[in-house]
Structures are given as structure tokens and as C-alpha cells.
Amino acid sequence: MAKRSVFPRPPGKRFNVTAKYWRRCLFISRSFRARSKFWFHKKRALPLNKHLLAFYALVILSIIGLIIFVENHPISHFDLNMTQEIQEQRAWDITLPMKFISVFGDALVAPLSIIIASLFFFIVRRRREAYFTLAVILPDLFNMVIKIFIHRPRPTLENAKIFLSFNQSSFPSGHVVHYVVFFGFLLTVMIVDKNISLVWKIFVGFISAFLIITVSISRIYLGAHWATDVIGGYLFGFIYLGILLKYYFKYSIFKHPEKLS
């Protein structure tokens, strides 16, 4: 008796293979290719995940070290020197531009800007971006909780020039946290979304990057924060932004690919 081949044979006069059998073979083939592709991408993503974990671990350790430093040195020589250098090394009066840079993080303007950006994304039918823009409020609230536990005094007239006065504690800078998360998310959307025009990418991307960089100088110049406050704001902000972007990309690519637009 002839031994049957394990490979499927095309239907013909001698080999009567049903359509159901061929559909089953096609299904198995597609399943195998899909699993192979998933395994390949998963193996490629491992090194990146390790680097991200190492980066987050380094940032968390830096935050812990900075908190210990701030608790033991409420007013350090480093902060005093940085404030003096930024407030005195200028060729003209830049108080008004510095105030304008900081205005987007004020108590009323910050939530209003989040709502406006979210409504804009809803209008252009980008619900996913709208929801994640609203999520920027969570880091702002969490930062207020941190200020309750870390009672660091703000700069005073005895050690700095004060252009703006606040009653809350100084560490970390809420403005810097908000700018990193809010404008960092907008900058990421401009970079990764291929459906946005180049003009909008350049315009929104440049403004977002400019504000993220200059807000630290603005807060120190205005006498609202110490240098270590803005450093802590950047560290906390990048942690929050990393978590936000992790779920943003996970939601868009792996869970709901039909909601990319």
C-alpha cells in the first residue's frame, strides 16, 4: 500500500480534495505566519524595553537623591548661584517675555489650555488624542500632592529678586511638570502622526519644544523656583510623560488599530 504524502495535493481527477480541507490549510498557514511575525517583533522590542527600564530606574534614583538633597539643603549654594547668574546676566529687561513663557502653567490657564486642546482634537475627530490630552490633568494633581509632603520654601527677597509670589511649596516646579507632559505630548503627536500637515508639525512642534526648554529659565528668573526645583520638575515630568506615551502607543497600535485616525 502506497504511503500518503503529508503535503496537500491540488484537486484533480485522481485527488479529490474538498474545499473545506483547503480552507483549513490556509487558516493554519495564516495563523503560523501571524504568530511568527508577533514573535519577531516581540524579540526585537526586548532590547528597547530593557533600555527604557534602565532609564526609568536612573530617573527614579535621581528623584530620590534630589528629594534627600532638598530636604537637607532647603537653600543650597548651587541654587543661590544659579539664581544670581540667571537674574543678573542679561543685556536688557526680559521680565515681560519670562512672564509670558510661564503664563501657560498658571492655575487658570493650564486647565483651560488642556480643555481647548482636547476640544480641538474632538473637533478634528481624534478622540484618542483628546482623551490622552485630558489625562494631563492627572500629573498636575499628583504634583500638588507631592508639594504637600515636601515643604520647601520658595525664594525670598533676602536671597533673590522676586517678580512673582506664590504660597505653595517650591519643590518640584509644577510649571515644568505641566510643560513637559502637556507640550511633550503635543510634540510627540506632531512627530508620529503622518496625517498632520508639515506646516502644523513645524509650528506646534517648535513652540512646544521652545516652551519646554525655556520654562525652567523663566521660573528661576522670576524668582518662583530654585534650580533644583526645575530639575525635579523635569524628572517628574519625563516619568509622567513616559507613562502617558506608553499607554498612548499601546492603545493605538496593539489594542485598537482601527482607532488610529
Q: Which of 12-16, 170-174, 226-230 has the lowest mean pLDDT?
A: 12-16
pLDDT digits (tens, 9 = 90+) for 113-156: 999 999 988 888 888 888 888 988 888 888 888 888 887 777 77
Distance from CA of residue 149 to its chain's centroid? 24
Tens digit of each residue's pLDDT (9 = 90 or more) over 63-112: 888 888 887 877 778 888 888 888 886 657 778 888 888 888 888 888 89
The cell for 199 is 506646516
Lowest mean pLDDT among 166-170, 185-189, 228-232: 166-170
Cβ atoms 192, 170 nearer than 8 A: no
Which residues are CB-contacts of 185 (< 8 A; sequence separation ≥ 6)?
132, 133, 136, 241, 244, 245, 248
- Give the global pTM: 0.71
Cα distances from 250 to residues 245, 256, 260, in angstroms, run 8, 9, 11
Residue of higher predicted confidence among 257 and 172 = 172
Q: What are the residue ranges spanned by the domains of the chain? A: 91-261
